[in-house]
A and B are shown apart, each in its own frame.
Chain A
Amino acid sequence: MSPKKILVIDDFSQMRSTLKQMLQSIGFSEIDTATDGKGALDQLARRAYDIVLCDYNLGEGKDGQQVLEEAKHRNLIGYSTVFVMITAENTVEMVMGAMEYKPDDYLTKPFNKDLLRSRLDKLLARKADFDQIEAAVQKGELRRGISLCEERIAKKPKNLSEFMKLKAELCLRTGDLEEAEKVYAAILAVREVPWAKVGLGQVRFKQGRYAEARDIFQEIVDQQRTQMEAHDWLAKSLERLGDTKRAQEVLANAAQLSPKAILRQQALGDLAFRNADFDAAENAFRKTVNLGRESVFRKPGHYTRLAKVLSKNGSGKDAIKTLDAARKEFRGDEKALLETTVVEGLVLRDQGRENDAKKAFDEAATLFEATGGGAGTDVALDMAKACLLFGEKEKGLALIQDVVRNNHEEEAVLGAAQEIFADVGLEDEGRELIAATTREVAHLNNEGVRLVKEGKLEKALQLFEEAVGSMPHNRTVNLNTAQAMLIFMQKRGRDERYLQLTRQYLDRVKAVDPSDSKLQKLMGVFERVAASSAA
């Protein structure tokens, strides 16, 4: 008898008992069952399972993919849990189109116990095979993960290409583009393997060679329409090249192939909105909101986006209804209340209901104050726009300036800021403000880096600490400050306060973009500094 704990999730009682019987005859005895997504998540929260067998189709409520997404997102299942999605022939593509969080394997009905046993044996063996590497990756020790991959590759195992694939992915994440490219090129020299081609495209993208990246992704998509990842990257490349129209077409096409991928719908809506294709944006945001009902990716921003575009399309009433629905969905969530109230003010104003609009705006302003600057970029921009429209120009400009200072290299944010200026008729003044602010931040960073290079570490630290205090969300400032502190400690020895601050700055960047290559490098240095000085 195997001591492995198994959870079977299926809405049909007959299928549950068939699966249970199969598993028992294979030699498993610890088998729990769940009949729907909610029940399954409760069970997963209570008990750690080794294997989860989940039917994709669970009737009303969450589907199998949403169960997987939420379980992973909430850390209810770890890397060592085998998650198998059971699909019928008509649901395979639904699972395939998922954007993140893929199951370990698919099992297409009908199957028998012999097949199930063989598949589970192999999956468990595979988990054991990758155990150490996955554990390192889970802990964020990507460089250790890479060296573990290299150890395995040197032994030339049967599944050599799986280790090469993982190694290249980790190299991409740590920003070691040269090494990643070597792996992909080695694979591609033998065969046109889709994942290696997608990987090479990502290398080009990260090198900033967007046109080459675009051509690679285009080729993959032409050959294999169903490579969803390639569609997403193609759209991103086109966006960087300024061809947002084509990017939108690509994403629309991809979204059609994977109608249930919520994150892709949201990205499509954002692009369509930027392209002023408000019909397409409305359509995409409507789908995003609907898909969000049972999804862990649900957020108030989906509703406010839909409301904004509805208002643009002249459906102000529907926009207000959408915001009301959001407040109901996110009851008790202060941030959600703020987000929806700001947008409500904007929508009411579009409708010409000045008094109601002003009331909503005042309410939003109070809520905004209460967040103490922690409202997030999107909300801050909406708030700024409202200030400009409701005659509080100084406050609006200050808010935008603050957003720009914290995001001086994020093209999408700067674009959104410029759009607001255009909307309120301050196009030239706005452009001037954005340019001056980004210049100022860039200059500050350069100055700090110069001081570090000249060895004037105390002066550099003073400058950076001040900068990070006034721009706590600026990625470059956080990274540069962390770097300066690490260099300081490497030269002058351990400093508890600096260690703690460095960790804090790195965590901030990690929360936004864990794959930032400079972040990855600094995390490596941080581990060494923390370890060496502790000894």
Chain B
Amino acid sequence: MSEQGQLDFSAVLASTIHDMKNSLGMVLNSLDQIVDLKAGNCNCSAEQVAQLQYEARRVNDNLVQLLTLYKLENGRHLQNISELPVAEFLEECYLLNKPLIDYKGIGIEIECDDDLYWFFDRDLSAGVVNNVINNAMRYTRDRIRLSASVRDGMLDLRIEDNGPGFPERMLEVVGREQTEVDFRKGHTGLGLYFCTKVAESHENQGRYGRIELANDSPIGGGRFSVILP
């Protein structure tokens, strides 16, 4: 890792710890609210459970991402590239998030040829797509679209929503070395950093993976592309 990269990572790490601490704080608060110690039972709304699930998932995802990054940086990750049916892969990414998507009443559409197969690391890439879906769930109005196709000899996995789109500063950040960290708004930078590193860890015949952000989605909001060689 370059010196610049190390600086970035320690900033990302600090802000992620901060963020996870907030999440756990929220979980503890919610538990206090719903547990009736005297009666010895829990009273909670579906909304509270969904919130708890969301926060717990977030902490878990963050920790998994940190561990994966650590292994990627130290060359300890055994990449498991295999040929996978992309439509099934996207379907599974959706299924993993289905409970929350259903709860939030978000409409989901998947667009991918059944006979599209590609070579990539399933677990790593699922981590990336799930991360982006999670983000999209937060900002979308009511639709998320997952699609995949081959462009310029690379697999383009797209996660789009019909929310307000990515803020200008995020669009600028991508592709540059520096990752922006904003402690107040819960933008830890970890997600973006993780997505970039995982994409870059995919290599084929001298071409490397990357991510691409734009606000040009046909359904109206942001588009997050994971492009794999």
Complex contact B98–A112 (CB within 8 A): yes
Once the chains are docked, how many angstroms separate the CA of A118 from the CA of B91?
9
Q: What are the residues of chain A within 8 A of B68 when measuring CB–CB?
A: 89
Chain B proximity mask over A159-197: 1 for CB below 8 Å, otherwise 0: 101000000000000000000000000000001111000
Chain B proximity mask over A110-126: 1 for CB below 8 Å, otherwise 0: 11101100110010000
Complex contact A115–B95 (CB within 8 A): yes
Q: Does A108 contact B (CB under 8 A)?
A: yes
Complex contact B204–A89 (CB within 8 A): no
Q: Does B64 contact A (CB under 8 A)?
A: yes
Complex contact A226–B85 (CB within 8 A): no
Q: What are the residues of chain B within 8 A of A158 when measuring CB–CB?
A: 85, 114-115
Q: Does A366 contact B (CB under 8 A)?
A: no
Complex contact B77–A114 (CB within 8 A): no
Out of B57, B78, B79, B92, which one reaches A115, CB within 8 Å? Answer: B92
With both beta carbons as reference points, the residue of chain A lying nearest to B116 in the complex is identified as A158
Chain A proximity mask over B98-111: 1 for CB below 8 Å, otherwise 0: 11000000000000
Complex contact B99–A110 (CB within 8 A): no
Interface size counted on chain B using CB atoms at 8 A: 30
Which candidate, A26-34, A43-51, A92-100, A320-328, is the interface stretch facing chain B?
Answer: A92-100
Out of B99, B114, B123, which one reaches A108, CB within 8 Å? Answer: B123
Interface residues of A in 190-246 (CB under 8 A from B): 191-194, 223-226
Out of A118, A159, A193, A223, which one reaches B92, CB within 8 Å? Answer: A118
Q: What are the residues of chain A within 8 A of B91 when measuring CB–CB?
A: 118
Once the chains are docked, how many angstroms separate the CA of A193 from the CA of B91?
24
Once the chains are docked, how many angstroms separate the CA of A223 from the CA of B85?
23
Complex contact A193–B203 (CB within 8 A): no
Complex contact A92–B85 (CB within 8 A): no
Interface residues of B in 192-207 (CB under 8 A from A): 203-205
With both beta carbons as reference points, the residue of chain B lying nearest to A108 in the complex is identified as B123
Q: What are the residues of chain B within 8 A of A122 when measuring CB–CB?
A: 88
Q: Does B67 contact A (CB under 8 A)?
A: yes
Once the chains are docked, how many angstroms separate the CA of A267 from the CA of B224?
47
Once the chains are docked, how many angstroms separate the CA of A115 from the CA of B80?
20
Q: Does B170 contact A (CB under 8 A)?
A: no
Complex contact A89–B123 (CB within 8 A): yes
Chain B proximity mask over A73-108: 1 for CB below 8 Å, otherwise 0: 000000000000000011011001100000000101
Complex contact A193–B119 (CB within 8 A): yes
Complex contact B83–A161 (CB within 8 A): yes
Once the chains are docked, how many angstroms separate the CA of A194 from the CA of B83?
10
Complex contact A159–B85 (CB within 8 A): yes
Nearest CB of A to B122, in Å: 8
Out of B77, B115, B119, which one reaches A93, CB within 8 Å? Answer: B77
With both beta carbons as reference points, the residue of chain A lying nearest to B204 in the complex is identified as A192
With both beta carbons as reference points, the residue of chain B lying nearest to A87 in the complex is identified as B123
Most B C-beta atoms less than 10 A away, residue of A158, A192, A225: A158
Nearest CB of B to A158, in Å: 5
Q: Does B28 contact A (CB under 8 A)?
A: no
Interface size counted on chain A using CB atoms at 8 A: 28
Q: What are the residues of chain B within 8 A of A111 when measuring CB–CB?
A: 96
Q: Does B166 contact A (CB under 8 A)?
A: no
Once the chains are docked, how many angstroms separate the CA of A459 from the CA of B123?
64
Out of B64, B99, B119, which one reaches A191, CB within 8 Å? Answer: B119
Complex contact B64–A89 (CB within 8 A): yes
Interface residues of B in 201-229 (CB under 8 A from A): 203-205
Complex contact A224–B119 (CB within 8 A): no
Interface residues of A in 125-140 (CB under 8 A from B): none
Q: Does A153 contact B (CB under 8 A)?
A: no
With both beta carbons as reference points, the residue of chain A lying nearest to B91 in the complex is identified as A118
Known A93-B77, A158-B115, A257-B78: A114·B95 in contact at CB below 8 Å: yes
Complex contact B80–A114 (CB within 8 A): no
Interface residues of B in 108-152 (CB under 8 A from A): 114-115, 117, 119, 123, 126
Q: Does B81 contact A (CB under 8 A)?
A: yes
Q: What are the residues of chain A within 8 A of B22 when measuring CB–CB?
A: none
Once the chains are docked, how many angstroms separate the CA of A34 from the CA of B186?
43
Once the chains are docked, how many angstroms separate the CA of A111 from the CA of B98?
11
Q: What are the residues of chain A within 8 A of B178 when measuring CB–CB?
A: none
Most A C-beta atoms less than 10 A away, residue of B78, B85, B95: B78
Known A111-B96, A112-B96, A161-B117: A93·B78 in contact at CB below 8 Å: yes
Known A158-B115, A161-B117: A119·B92 in contact at CB below 8 Å: yes
Nearest CB of B to A368, in Å: 45
With both beta carbons as reference points, the residue of chain B lying nearest to A89 in the complex is identified as B64
Q: Does B60 contact A (CB under 8 A)?
A: yes
Interface residues of B in 6-40 (CB under 8 A from A): none
Complex contact B81–A110 (CB within 8 A): no
Once the chains are docked, how many angstroms separate the CA of A225 from the CA of B88?
27
Chain B proximity mask over A343-370: 1 for CB below 8 Å, otherwise 0: 0000000000000000000000000000
Some 18 contacts from A to B, beta carbons below 8 A apart, are A92-B123, A93-B77, A96-B80, A97-B78, A108-B126, A110-B57, A110-B60, A111-B96, A115-B95, A115-B96, A158-B114, A192-B205, A193-B83, A193-B119, A194-B81, A223-B203, A226-B78, A257-B78
Q: A93-B76, A112-B96 are in contact. List 14 more A-B contacts (CB 8 A).
A: A92-B78, A106-B123, A110-B57, A112-B99, A114-B95, A114-B98, A114-B99, A118-B88, A119-B92, A158-B115, A159-B117, A192-B204, A225-B75, A257-B78
Q: Which 6 A-B pairs have the closest CB atoms?
A: A93-B78, A114-B95, A226-B78, A115-B95, A114-B98, A96-B78
